[in-house]
Amino acid sequence: MAKKLYVGNLSYNVTEDQIRELFAQAGEITEIKVILDRDTGMSKGFAFVHMSDDAAAQDAIQRFNGHSLDQRTLNVSEARPREERAGGNGFVRNDYDRRNKRF
């Protein structure tokens, strides 16, 4: 079963090809997703790498957690499930507004 890895502390200059070249040493990669800023299109400094199986994922964690890439020390770990975000437009009413009927 494929395993998703979190790769953090990436240099903003690191490309998907560089990540692929590095992680291919540990096993087959099924997908790489470099996370980009929505407004600027620049890297946010982390990525997700999907390895084809658990053994390859564990090997990648052992090999590359603490590895230096483009003068940055990588943080590699098993990705955690995405946390649910609160709905709405981000506006949060506080107790003062509720007490004083400010809506």
What are the tokens at 86?
């609160």
Task: Give the fold, CATH level 3, of 3-78.
Answer: Alpha-Beta Plaits (3.30.70)
Q: What pLDDT, on a 0 to 100 scale, did the predictor assign at position 1?
A: 74
Write down the pTM of the prediction.
Answer: 0.79
Report residue 87's pLDDT band, with 50, 70 and 90 as the boundaries.
Answer: low
Query: How far is it, in rounded angstroms, from Cα 72 to Cα 81?
Result: 25
Look at residue 6 and tell me whether its pLDDT is greater than 80: yes
Average pLDDT in the 54-74 region? 96
Report residue 67's pLDDT band, with 50, 70 and 90 as the boundaries.
Answer: very high
Q: Which residue has the tokens 């949060």?
A: 92
Q: Which residue has the tokens 């997908």?
A: 31
Q: Which tens digit of pLDDT belongs to each residue from 19-57?
A: 999 999 999 999 999 999 999 999 999 999 999 999 999
Q: How far is CA 100 from CA 46, 56, 91, 94, 95, in A?
A: 44, 58, 17, 10, 9
